[in-house]
Amino acid sequence: MFQHSRSNPHARARDGQAGFTLLELLVVMAIIGLLAGYVAPRYFAQIGKSEVKVAQAQLGAIEKAIEQYRLDTGHYPTQEQGLAALMKKPANETRWDGPYLKKDVPNDPWGRPFTYKVPGVRGDFDLISLGKDGAPGGTGEAADLSIN
């Protein structure tokens, strides 16, 4: 009838033999915090680099679509038509053979539309993403990305 406290799991908890001490929990939390402080900045830096690479890939795809539009029609989409002319035939365009992209013209990885200028400052047209900060100029992830 009498049960020894070692065979009863509830008795062990009352004796203080089971569980972790507050100090042990604090040490484990400190170690987790240090690891997170070391790993998190490296992880988020990689995310920023991948967003820049995605923006560059999108710029390249849109540039190819613009060039195909030019080959078909003999000119680039006008400033008024904008990039929408790649997906929907402009009213006065007889040689349009689009759509020139498989999906709608995407926003840049930061959720803003690409800027399209005809004529361009550096070429026949400019295609620009203002980077993470959404403002002209900048460095790193905030730098402007452009075609031409």
Query: Rounded to an integer, what distance in angstroms lies between the CA atom of residue 89 and that of residue 95?
Result: 9
**Residue 72 vs residues 29, 48, 69, 82, 126: alpha-carbon distances, Å:** 63, 37, 5, 16, 19
| Model confidence pLDDT, tens digit, residues 75-104 | 999 999 999 999 999 988 889 988 999 999
Q: Is the pLDDT of residue 64 over 90?
A: yes
Among 32-41, 57-66, 115-124, the minimum mean pLDDT is found in 32-41
- pTM value? 0.66
Kindly state the DSSP code that residue 147 receives in the 8-state scheme.
E
Kindly state the DSSP code that residue 3 receives in the 8-state scheme.
P
| Model confidence pLDDT, tens digit, residues 43-52 | 766 666 788 8
Structure tokens at 28: 């484990």
